[in-house]
Amino acid sequence: MEDEATPPVHQMAAATLTDGSDSPVQWAQFSRRVLIRTIVCRPDGGVGLSGQKVTVGGWVKTGREQGKGSFAFLELNDGSCPANLQVIVDSSVTPLGQLVPTGTCVFVEGELKKPPEGTKQNVELRVEKVLEIGPVDPSKYPLPKTKLTLEFLRDYVHLRPRTNTISAVARIRNALAYATHTFFQKHGFLYVHTPIITTSDCEGAGEMFQVTTLLSDAEKAEKELKQNPPPSEADIEAAKLLVNEKGEAVAQLKSAKAKKEEITASVAELTKAKENLSKLEERSKLKPGIPQKDGKIDYSHDFFARQAFLTVSGQLQVETFACALSSVYTFGPTFRAEHSHTSRHLAEFWMVEPEIAFADLEDDMNCAEAYVRFLCQWLLDNCLDDMQFMVKNFDKTAIDRLKMVSSTPFERISYTEAVKLLENVTEKKFENKVEWGIDLASEHERYLTEVIFKKPVIVYNYPKGIKAFYMKLNDDLKTVAAMDVLVPKVGELIGGSQREERYEVIEKRILEMGLPLEPYEWYLDLRRYGTVKHCGFGLGFERMILFATGIDNIRDVIPFPRFPGRADL
């Protein structure tokens, strides 16, 4: 039977309860409630909904008893927006003590009313019925009402989404993910899921997490050997003799045209003898430790029968689809086993990697610039309340930075030009010496964007010695057709290139970098069979969130940060 205070399921997306107002309540379609966002984020702040009955759920940000315990004020938030809904509960409705502690979850039903003149709220909820309570013991709840540091919250990664900052970051992250798919789908790109487990190293850096079952297999073998010592050769020989005997017995019965029941019983005994022999032979192969061959680990015994790793990039794999479907992109987690504790590094992070066939470096730069500008405008159009929170609490320039990037053409200079500009800088002493051939450091990248050009910069044509093997070798034989998009606050946001489509050239580049050819034979096939000019780039998704929000540490813009020594949840 439908609850009178909530509309039927098929009507929940629209209003069903009105007071004659032109702006009805919007019910959530898949939960019997009204999102707080649809009340307090209206242009009128919710005033037009006064008099309407609603059901809301959320967590208490702050709560206090008033009127000598006759009623309580609750600031309720359900995560749908930064703003809270003020909820008033009389003591006649329910005991107030269990409602007011910070962190309590409440699901309540009541009437929206316009508060008295002089209050900052536009609308408040007068509770008529408390449907559910998720209580909290305030003496044990680890997130008090006091201001908490982001570093402190990393110790409570399972509870930190309840804070204003992390919930705002989550909504911004969600908006950027939605914008990413919107941008590429709008431009005819196909979303491709690339593997997390790979046998090739995209970057050639070697800092990869290995995926193996050899350790667990060795532990299981050791445990099994302790419980059941391996059979002796005599045991195995006896089992073989028994199999032969049972086999001969079956053959004799068949030649004698014995009854079917006798033959069936004899076959069952033979089968049982064979199974026993198989088990004995398997147990005889169990040996303690990891299998070795020629003094090295024998990966032929591993799960994938070869070395396997967590991917550092989906680029190489997504190229296979670009060479068949033209415009594609992948958006997923990537991994680096780098022992770094900086504010810019994670062991697990997300990458957006488009790949475009029949396109060159200029096309790549055009796509990257359009994508970044689209993301910035999307946040301005769809996440302004959360961005205003960031401006108030973390970075006063965050919104201005988004406006500037979304509306300003990016500067484009060659790596050689960038180095010359940096070499001529006299008013600042860089920690890392500037000279042609170095990989630009973050301080160099930010100086170019924040001081020299005061806007995003795309640097292109990098020295081949500091870039990956798959980047197209330029005619000067010294540089490759690579590009990086540099932005204020973060530095490098995007790295991309035109890919080397010439078979002989890329084969030579792989060997020059000391990489084995065998794991890349499939990649070389893309150059052997129907080779095509193509390009692509990778955007570090967490870096984009850092850039947008102004938050300083990358560990605070990913839901579950993984870094050396920490992998909570």
Residue 279 pLDDT? 87
Q: In what order do the strands lie in the sheet with 411-414?
A: 190-191, 327-335, 348-357, 534-540, 491-498, 479-487, 457-463, 411-414
The total domain count for the chain is 3
The answer to whether residue 140 sits within a structural domain is no
Tell which of 272, 301, 330 closes a domain: 301
Residue 357 pLDDT? 98
The CATH number assigned to the domain holding 111 equals 2.40.50.140
Low-confidence ranges of the chain (pLDDT < 50): 1-21
Compute the distance between CA of residue 467 and CA of residue 469 in angstroms, rounded to an integer: 7
Same structural domain, 103 and 199: no
Residue 340 pLDDT? 84
Same structural domain, 116 and 246: no
Give the CA angle between residues 424, 425, 427 to the nearest 5°. 145
**For the chain, percent of residues with pLDDT exceeding 70:** 95
Q: In what order do the strands lie in the sheet with 308-310?
A: 197-198, 308-310, 210-211
- Parallel, antiparallel or unpaired: strands 534-540 and 479-487: unpaired
Residue 204 pLDDT? 52
Contact 55, 6 (CB under 8 A): yes
Spatial CB neighbours of 314, under 8 Å, sequence gap ≥ 6: 194, 195, 330, 332, 334, 351, 353
Same structural domain, 205 and 220: no
Residue 16 pLDDT? 42
Tell which of 301, 329, 359 closes a domain: 301
Name the H helices within 208-232.
214-227
Same structural domain, 263 and 221: yes
The CATH number assigned to the domain holding 378 equals 3.30.930.10
Same structural domain, 244 and 359: no
- HSE on the CB side for 409, CA within 13 Å? 4
Torsion of CA 143, 144, 145, 150, to 10 degrees: -40
Spatial CB neighbours of 508, under 8 Å, sequence gap ≥ 6: none
Which DSSP letter does residue 324 get?
A: H
Q: Give phi and psi for 462, each to the nearest 5.
A: -85, 160
Q: At what angle do helices 384-393 and 164-186 cross, to 10 degrees?
A: 130
Q: Tokens 């009541």 map to which residue?
A: 110
Coil, strand or helix at 108 = strand
Compute the distance between CA of residue 239 and CA of residue 180 in angstroms, rounded to an integer: 64
Same structural domain, 232 and 358: no
The answer to whether residue 438 sits within a structural domain is yes
The answer to whether residue 17 sits within a structural domain is yes
- HSE on the CB side for 344, CA within 13 Å? 12
Same structural domain, 385 and 285: no
- 62 forms bridges with which residues in the sheet? 75
Same structural domain, 258 and 389: no
Residue 419 pLDDT? 97
Tell which residue, 159, 285, 152, has the closest CA to residue 230.
Answer: 285
Tell which of 301, 330, 347 closes a domain: 301
Residue 2 pLDDT? 41
The answer to whether residue 94 sits within a structural domain is yes
The answer to whether residue 249 sits within a structural domain is yes
Taking only the tens place, the pLDDT of each residue in 181-196 is 999 999 999 999 999 9
Q: How long, in residues, is the chain?
A: 569
Compute the distance between CA of residue 407 and CA of residue 532 in angstroms, rounded to an integer: 34
The answer to whether residue 565 sits within a structural domain is no
Residue 294 pLDDT? 87
Domain span at residue 63 reads: 9-134
The answer to whether residue 366 sits within a structural domain is yes
Same structural domain, 200 and 218: no
Same structural domain, 124 and 225: no
Same structural domain, 388 and 527: yes
DSSP conformation letters of 495-548: EEEEB---HHHHHHHHHHTT--SGGGHHHHHHHHSS---EEEEEEEHHHHHHHH
Same structural domain, 331 and 416: yes
The answer to whether residue 259 sits within a structural domain is yes
